[in-house]
Structure 1
Amino acid sequence: MASATAPPAAGDTACVLDRDGMGALVRELRARGRTVIGPTVRDDAIVLAKLESAEELPYGWGVEHEAGYYRVRRRPDGAAFAHSAGPQSWKSFLHPERVRQWAADRGPDGEMTVRPERDEPPSFAFLGVRPCDLRAIQIQDRVMIGGPHRDATYGARRGGAFLIVVECTEPGATCFCVSMDTGPAARPGYDLALTEVVDEAGHRFLARAGTDEGAEILAALPRRPADDLTRTRAREDVEAAAGRMGRTMPEVDLRALLAGTLDAERWNDVAARCLTCGNCTMACPTCFCTTTEDVTDLTGDHAERWRRWESCYDLDFTHLPGGSVRGSGRSRYRQWLTHKLGTWWDQFDSSGCVGCGRCIVWCPVGIDITEEAHALHQESLDGQAGTEDGRP
């Protein structure tokens, strides 16, 4: 496969990579000092991990999942990206679960020396970012570094990250990105975008650059100009995926729906099932809340402060001197859902949900955010009908 000598500018004609080209992409990124993170099969799941080569990608693996259920399965076609969101999101690398903020030591003279943590993260290249997860990263950008109070740890990790989006051609049973307008086609914000095509003409990837750096890297790879068949097949596969979403949100103003159903009976129904375990917030690619904890050694001469993820399902999340503000599971689930779909707009000018479906899959009792939204909508309609009929 020939490679052109002059690098194309971002936005130029798309090109095609084959499986060898994918291997060359990983090698090129690593040669540039990038730490490549991508999907791979590990511990009976498709997880995100450091890749030494493209051969570690989950070629020939897919997933089966539903509410509270997840299994990997073999595929006959050898596709690398024909699977939907796994248990992790890119949040794990940009906004780590646990970060040390400082350490302090007491010297022989009793003086304390405090050393702030200076995080020097690797230069990341994220391979296999789904369009919904690209939107999640953009939402976290707004939360963590888009306002007056910037998070230095997130900013350092995000600033140099190279994003390679892979468009979805096979949505999962719990996906609803179409409802949230986040996929399955790639939106602006990527460095490179790929669409995997597997058909009678072979296994290949339609590639295009979104930035000059992306174009420069493409130019260094073995590639060929995009042909009409590959372009058409890629477009048709993504369009077909949009029509095969496993879930939907009600086609209403979700912000208004949540604001108008704070006293709905449905909250009692979900509270009877919810374990308040916080799995949904841990799996969610946009949840960002943290707390801090101080630890010391047995001598008391060494102390550290750590920041770690926190969940609004934790009883102590809103603990005040008089007790917890949200003492019931009902109130804590309602807080999470109304914030995610509603009041996030007031804070950050967008929804906090991207339709990835992780919270549905990784809920141990299978609570489904889309089912709850539909139920609240139906209860609202029933209430309006009762009022119109003269019922109380």
Structure 2
Amino acid sequence: MAVTYRAAVIDKVGLDALIRALAARGRTVIGPTVRDGAIVLAEVTGGADLPYGWGVAHEAGRYRLAPRRDGAAFAHSAGPQSWKSFLHPQRERQWSADRDADGSVVFSAESGPSPSYAFLGVRPCDLRAIAVQDRVLSGGRYPDPAYRRRRERAFVVAAECTEPGATCFCVSMDSGPAAGPGYDLALTEVIDSAGHRFLVRAGTEEGESLLGEVPSRPADTATQDAAHASVAAAADRMGRTMPQVDLQVLMRETLTAARWEDVASRCLTCGNCTMVCPTCFCTTAEDVTDLTGDHTERWRRWESCFDLEFTHLPGGPVRATGLSRYRQWATHKLGTWYDQFGSSGCVGCGRCIVWCPVGIDITEEAHALARERDGGVAAGSAPEAP
């Protein structure tokens, strides 16, 4: 039998109290804040750290902060970071080794307590991305113990999307704008003639307990209706779409399409798309030593399938051309990810579009592949070129 948790309404004071209550429970609260001309994820200690009054204006290959008159805190789409940066860090030491005076070598596995994070303002697309990473890094025969420890200790406060960006397409990937499962608390920001407030829904017992610690009032019908209407309206304002076809089949049937040559002529193989993607998980290992050679460490760091050395074998790289590397990334993300993990590897956040230095748009490429496969017949509405 499903458990039903309560919903409540809090104001800006209540949101500040929520942050402080999370910190009082020993959690490091990570949320959106303004820094260096972008909305980035960093530690927040109170409501004043949130990006009230800031949104973003972006397109393929372009990102800018944009002031908002309504003073909203969560009316911005995905920034350059994702929660992957905290759950699956960019660089992490795995073990170290030291040579004793007698010449023997002692290995020490990396240990210590995992951080206890509270993620505040997790977009529905990123909530889905965390679920995807859970399957990749916590499931299967060889789970990542470090990831699992961090994930088990994380408290998630989702923020439903009421203001999609120009490159968002979460509706096409069935990952938003409403929050799916996986949150402890879910916020929906409402700003109207009745004031600035947040509808809060608990999704777990811990979320329900925490909600009881902050000043709130029972959820009224007007606030719930306004929240639901805002999220529903956001679904109709997506800046991008994917073609209305089976993307897994499309990727399989277009491996030799001429469109790959076109995108390869523009792609720099810089790997930006894999770095900002909230689900890309590939890593490599680096061994480093001190000048004496008596101390060695192994570090794991993110790797990209766009790197020429990513699939290097004694005979050379498996994918020597930019075309083969871009095609590998796109077909894996949209197609063969299903074969490995049972879902798409794309959640429609649009980061890969925004942070591509030449503005390559994965939705535009998917539409072009669908048109080529179907003999020039468009499959859904393709976005205009920036």
TM-score, normalised relative to structure 2: 0.96
1:281 alignment partner in structure 2 = 274
Match of 2:229 in 1: 236
| Residues 10 and 214 in structure 1, CA contact (< 8 A), matched pair in contact too | no
Q: Compared with structure 1, are the counterparts of its residues 10 and 24 closer, same or farther at alpha carbon in structure 2 (3 Å cutoff)? A: farther
Q: State whether structure 2 residue 128 is matched by structure 1 residue 135.
A: yes
After superposition, where does 1:166-177 map in structure 2 within 5 Å? 166-177=159-170
What's 1:305 paired with?
298
The corresponding residue for 2:142 is 149
Which of 238-247 and 152-161 deviates more?
A: 152-161
What amino acid is the match of 2:302?
W
Q: Please tell me whether the aligned partners of residues 119 and 153 of structure 1 are also in contact (alpha carbons under 8 angstroms).
A: no
Following superposition, the deviation at residue 109 of structure 1 comes to: 1.8
- For residue 265 of structure 1, the aligned residue among 243, 246, 258 is 258
Task: Pick from 144, 147, 156 the counterpart of residue 163 of structure 1.
Answer: 156
1:12 Cα deviation after fit: 3.5
Q: Is 1:20–2:13 an aligned residue pair?
A: yes
Judged with a 3 Å threshold, the aligned counterparts in structure 2 of structure 1 residues 267 and 57 are, in CA distance, closer, same or farther, namely: same
Checking the alignment, whether the CA contact within 8 Å between 1:106 and 1:113 is kept in structure 2 is yes
Structure 1 residue 10 displacement after superposition = 6.0
Residue 16 (structure 2) pairs with residue 40 (structure 1): no
Deviations 1:228-256 (A, max 9, x none): 21111101100000000000000000000
Q: Bigger CA drift: 118-127 or 68-77?
A: 118-127
- For 1:383 and 1:57, the matched residues in 2 are separated by 47
Distance 1:109 1:203 in 2: 69
Partner residue of 2:84? 91
- Tell me, yes or no, if the aligned pair for 2:5 and 2:203 is still in contact at 8 Å: no
Match of 2:336 in 1: 343
Matched, 1:182 2:169: no
1:112 Cα deviation (Å)? 1.4
Asked whether the 8 Å contact 1:11–1:208 carries over to 2, the reply is no
Deviation at 1:383, TM superposition (A): 7.0
In structure 1, the partner of 2:359 is: 366
Q: Specify the alignment match of 2:349 in structure 1.
A: 356
Counterparts of 1:46-61 in structure 2 under 5 Å?
46-61=39-54
> How many Å apart are 1:174 and its aligned residue?
0.2
Which residue in 1 is equivalent to 2:69? 76
RMSD over aligned CA atoms reads 1.3
Partner of 2:114: 121
TM-score, L = length of structure 1: 0.94
Which secondary structure does the structure 2 equivalent of 1:125 belong to?
strand
Q: What SS does the corresponding residue of 1:101 show, helix, strand or coil? A: strand
Q: Give the AA of the match of 1:68.
A: G
Question: Contact 1:196–1:206 at 8 Å: present in 2 too?
Answer: yes
Structure 1 CA distance for aligned equivalents of residues 78 and 48 of structure 2:
20
5 Å matches for 1:195-210? 195-210=188-203
Q: 1:297-353: CA deviations, max 9, x gaps?
A: 111111110000000000011111110000000000000000000000000000000
Q: Secondary structure of 1:205's match?
A: strand
Query: Unmatched 5+ residue regions in structure 1?
Result: 1-8, 386-392
1:384 shift after superposition = 9.0
Residue number in structure 1 paired with 2:283 = 290
Alignment length, in residue pairs? 377
Change in CA separation of 1:55 and 1:116 when aligned onto 2, cut-off 3 Å: same
Amino acid of the residue matched to residue 227 of structure 2?
Answer: A
Query: 1:152-192, CA deviations, whole angstroms, 9 ceiling, x for partnerless residues?
Result: 11011101111111000000000000000000001111100
Moved more, 218-227 or 86-95: 218-227
Kept in 2, the 8 Å contact 1:10–1:209? The answer is no
Distance 2:181 2:295 in 1: 47
Mean Cα deviation higher: 227-236 or 360-369? 227-236
Instruction: Tell me the residue number matched to 1:4.
Output: none
SS in 2 for 1:193: strand
Q: Which residue of 2 aligns with 1:314?
A: 307
2:246 corresponding residue in structure 1:
253
Deviations along 1:274-293, one digit per CA (max 9) or x if unpaired, are 00000000000000000101
CA deviations 1:105-132 (Å, max 9, x no partner) are 1122222121111142211110000001
SS at match of 2:310: helix
Determine the C-alpha separation between the residues in 2 that align with 1:113 and 1:54: 47
Which deviations, in whole Å up to 9, do the C-alpha atoms of 1:68-120 show, x marking residues without a partner? 00011211111000000000000000000000011111122222121111142
Q: What secondary structure does 1:316 align onto?
A: coil
Contact map agreement 2:305 2:329 (CA 8 A) in 1? yes
Q: Residue 269 of structure 2 aligns to which amino acid in structure 1?
A: T
Quote the offset at 1:58 in angstroms.
0.4
CA distance in 2, matches of 1:58, 1:83: 9
- Could you tell me which runs of 5 or more consecutive residues in structure 2 were left unpaired when the two chains were aligned: 379-386
Matches of 2:3 and 2:13, distance apart in 1: 22
* In structure 1, C-alpha distance between the alignment counterparts of 2:6 and 2:86, rounded to whole Å: 32
- Checking the alignment, whether the CA contact within 8 Å between 1:10 and 1:215 is kept in structure 2 is no
1:11 aligns with 2:4: yes
- Cα separation, 2, equivalents of 1:248 and 1:379: 17
The partner residue of 1:193 within 186, 190, 199 is: 186
Identity fraction in percent: 71
Shift of 1:11: 2.5
